[in-house]
Amino acid sequence: MVELTRLNVPNYEEVVEVKDPSSGLHAIISIHNTLQGPAVGGCRMLPYESFDDALTDANDLAGGMTFKSLIHQCPFGGGKSSMIGDPKTLTREMLLAMGRAVERLEGRYIIAEDMNIGPDSVAIMAEETDYIAGINKDGYSGNPSPVTAKGVYLSIKACVQRALGKHTLEGVRIGVAGIGAVGSELCKLLIQDGAVVIITDTRQKVLEAFAQEHGLECTPPDQLHKLELDVYSPCGGSKMVTYALIEELQAGIICGAANVQLADPSIGAVLSDKGILYVPDVIANGGGIINISAEFQKDPHENKLIRVPYDRDIAMARAETIPKTLNTILDYAEHNNLPTNIAMEQMAKGLLASDRSTQSINPGLAKAIAALLQIRVQ
């Protein structure tokens, strides 16, 4: 039987440790906030060095999902789950046990794919729970990578226009760190637009094969950020942007698909002081949650979500709003002399507060939120 142990984590609604002795599953499900709707977030599997590392990762990502849904006006709260172990050891029995764990949360958390846990894995979980999204099945959204990559691509274009005054990516030098599901799709979009793309990945064989297939320059992971780049695009694991990296960084823009990119939130202020335009991942990679939102709509008569047939064209059209969202937040950051990550957090928290009390928001923030809410996602 799956064992759920509730952990006391301040400022989180519910965090549970999941164990299933029969399958060997050991995981964490983190629910940060459900004021906007059920917590939605992917499940990843990594060989964490410790339980605390896995807990921190799940909690950081769950908080980010709350902000992401708020910023992109999706009817969800924030959640995330982490399975602890080498992905090579993943079994069907582990996935079924994870599905049973999600089912026991009674809809407070909706699980989807993430790093090393793809739509087919989530489909196995669906044998034990209905609280899933993003599987490869009629009516569901399936692989979100094309929509996520589209949002990152559009964010890069918006930043290049804003910071460099260029309306195309022709000749713009972009370093992509991580060519997984989203990073590889992003590279294809950048190449089509004439960008000079340099890539890296920790998987040497994957890196060399992708570089050869697309005629790209590749470099070791610890060298990419040192090259003369216009844009550095982190698309791998969490906390890739460290103090050490930014001391050597040659690019004037950071915009990528990875979640929780800053090793410490204070790095946002350092980037701002250095004149480096940083796009918080919550904004740039919002295509993933936008994609899932196309599976649902709010019931007009009851305070709950109902499933609707998924349409990829609708999801892609919604992703087209990301540059407007990005520029609204960058304008707010610029006008208030704030690091972009702090500006994003203020606006997300302001959106959450605006649902409860407009009196709790200062006039400047209220004006920025009003501008954000004009970006209607139909």
Exposed/middle/buried for 137, CB within 10 Å: 0-12, 13-18, 19+? Answer: middle
Element (H, E) at 30: strand 25-33
Closest CA to 128 of 245, 2, 19: 2
Question: Which residues are within 8 A (CB) of 165 and not within 5 positions of it... i.e. 6 or more apart?
Answer: none
- Residue 372 buriedness (CB in 10 A; 0-12 / 13-18 / 19+): buried
Could you tell me if 377 and 319 are in contact, meaning their C-beta atoms sit under 8 angstroms apart? no
CA angle, corner 361, sides to 355 and 363, nearest 5? 130
Residue type, 100: R
Q: Where are the strands (E) in 274-322, listed by range?
A: 277-278, 296-298, 305-307
CB 350 within 8 A of CB 373: no
> Residues 210, 216, 222, 225: is their CA dihedral positive or negative?
negative
User: Which residue of the set 19, 68, 80, 205 is catalytic?
Assistant: 80
- Is 324 known to be catalytic? no
**Nearest Cα to 339, choosing from 286, 260, 274?**
274
Report yes or no: 287 and 151 within 8 Å, Cβ to Cβ. yes
> What are the phi and psi torsion angles at 308 (to 5°)?
-130, 155
The upper half-sphere exposure of residue 329, i.e. CA atoms within 13 Å in the direction of its Cβ, equals 34
d(CA 372, CA 329): 8
Which are the catalytic amino acids? Answer: 80
